[in-house]
Amino acid sequence: MGRIKQRFSGQSGQFMLFFAAVAVCGFSQSVVDATLNNFLAESFSITEFQRGFMELPREMPGFLVIFLSALLFFMGSRRLAAFANALMALGIILLGLYSTSFPVMLLWLFAFSAGQHLFLPLISSIGMEFASEGKAGRRLGQLSGSANLAAIVGGLVVFAGFTYLGFTFTSSFVLAAAGFLAASVLIFFMTPDEPRPAKTRFLLRKEYGLFYWLNILYGTRKQLFITFAPWVLVTVFHQKTQVVATLLAAGGAIGIFFKPLLGRAIDRLGERFILMAEAVALVAVCLLYGFSRDAFGETAALYVTCACYVADQLLMSVGMARATYLRKIALVPADVTQTLTMGVTIDHFFSIVIALVSGWIWLTVGYQYVFLLGACIALINLVSASRVRTR
């Protein structure tokens, strides 16, 4: 063990450990994403409103993440990242093995989600520690690209497993847990950083107001797609686990090239241009996702919906631009990690609300209007992104 730590003690070695951990985590997350919605539909036969209500326990850890990170301040960012992956492993394996009832399943989902949301802001903050001046977007693009490559493998494993190898939901969740645990071990080998006092976690500055607002808009529209986009494929178009896994793999394959290029584009074109372009693309994606079934035949609508599902996967990575924007406007470097974490907490308050409202909208007037709401949010995002300025 001493030799391993010595080998990776340099800056490049430390980055490679984190790079590998993000990749392995991406593999496991892909396995979970490809199977979770079918698991819910087939195991518990939940309604659209219940699916929306489920986001309360699933997204509550995102709202609580600022308090959890303050509670665990003594770990420092890197040890906290290792703990987060271990918590994801524990949560998903319990979900796979001991979901004896719907309430018990929600408990395990809460634990998994707590780890997931703790790790989310740390990917950007730790990743940017290894970036030289003006190259933060490129570095985050490399990390995102590694996660995408691993996500392809995860999607293909799920497809092959359920098609040819007799996979069950339990076996896929156990596999995902092994990956999260491996990511935890890789990050644990990194040199720990100095912990910051708990009180510094609760950081709100008026100078970062636009960043918080952009996070709120991102959180609301993200929630629509994370919750209801796969649910449309599963319940409206009646697609199996293999199809969702294939789409995740396709998004990952494109993302290998798209996300590093996006990182470079952020550095060259600036955050304002990228965030505005994302908003324009999202308007089209939301409208097509919601109304393709009304505009086209059933088969064509399925293909259009699948294409939109992949496109939205790629657009999620524009979160890199919000992170690099914050890094440029930060009054002091120490603000970055704390403000990213606070941004997650703020956006998840609105994510929970939008999930409940959207479940009610689906139930009363149809799923199409859930995505019409998403298009409206994207238009607000376009106007807001036009106000982005950096030094």
**Is 70 exceeded by the pLDDT of residue 9?**
no
Distance CA 30, CA 214 (A): 26
Q: Where are the alpha helices (DSSP H) in the chain?
A: 2-7, 11-44, 48-53, 55-71, 76-98, 102-129, 136-164, 169-188, 209-231, 241-269, 271-295, 298-315, 319-329, 335-365, 368-385
What average pLDDT score do residues 279-297 get?
88
**Is 90 exceeded by the pLDDT of residue 236?**
no
Tell me, what's the pLDDT at 51?
A: 66
Compute how many other C-beta atoms are within 10 angstroms of the C-beta atom of residue 299: 8
Residue 304 contacts by C-beta under 8 Å, 6 or more apart in sequence?
288, 292, 296
Residue 106 Rama label (left phi>0; alpha psi -120 to 50; beta): alpha
Tell me, what's the pLDDT at 85?
A: 93
Tell me, what's the pLDDT at 180?
A: 94
Distance CA 239, CA 362 (A): 19
What average pLDDT score do residues 251-276 get?
84
Tell me, what's the pLDDT at 391?
A: 66
Half-sphere exposure of 55 (CA within 13 A, CB side): 27
Distance CA 355, CA 228 (A): 9
- On whether the CB atoms of residues 241 and 121 are closer than 8 A, the answer is no
What average pLDDT score do residues 268-297 get?
89
Which comes out higher in pLDDT, residue 95 or 140?
95
Domain 2-191+205-385 superfamily per CATH: MFS general substrate transporter like domains (1.20.1250.20)
Tell me, what's the pLDDT at 295?
A: 81
Query: Which stretch of 58-72, 176-190, 222-236, 238-252 has the lowest confidence by average pLDDT?
Result: 58-72
**Is 50 exceeded by the pLDDT of residue 142?**
yes
Distance CA 232, CA 183 (A): 31
pLDDT digits (tens, 9 = 90+) for 20-56: 999 999 999 988 888 887 787 777 776 666 666 676 7
Task: Output the pTM of the full model.
Answer: 0.67
Query: Which stretch of 60-64, 225-229, 367-371, 376-380 has the lowest confidence by average pLDDT?
Result: 60-64
pLDDT digits (tens, 9 = 90+) for 351-383: 777 877 887 888 888 888 888 998 999 999 999
Distance CA 174, CA 176 (A): 5
The secondary structure of 214-231 as a DSSP string is HHHHHHHHHHHHHHHHHH
Which one, of 77, 32, 348, lies nearest residue 219 by Cα?
348
Distance CA 220, CA 271 (A): 20
Tell me, what's the pLDDT at 203?
A: 66
**Burial zone of 277 (CB within 10 Å; 0-12 exposed, 13-18 middle, 19+ buried):** middle
The secondary structure of 319-339 as a DSSP string is HHHHHHHHHHH-SSTTHHHHH
Query: What is the DSSP secondary structure assignment for residue 366, as one 8-state letter?
Result: -
Q: Domain map of the chain by residue range? A: 2-191+205-385
Tell me, what's the pLDDT at 118?
A: 86
Distance CA 188, CA 37 (A): 31
Which one, of 318, 327, 340, lies nearest residue 259 by Cα?
318
Query: Which stretch of 14-23, 56-65, 374-383 has the lowest confidence by average pLDDT?
Result: 56-65
Per-residue confidence at 1, pLDDT binned at 50, 70, 90? very low
Per-residue confidence at 196, pLDDT binned at 50, 70, 90? low
Question: What rounded mean pLDDT belongs to the chain?
Answer: 81
**Is 80 exceeded by the pLDDT of residue 194?**
no
Tell me, what's the pLDDT at 165?
A: 83
What average pLDDT score do residues 292-300 get?
83
Distance CA 8, CA 130 (A): 14
What average pLDDT score do residues 120-140 get?
76
Tell me, what's the pLDDT at 8?
A: 43
Tell me, what's the pLDDT at 201?
A: 53
CA 186 to chain centre: 20
What average pLDDT score do residues 102-128 get?
85
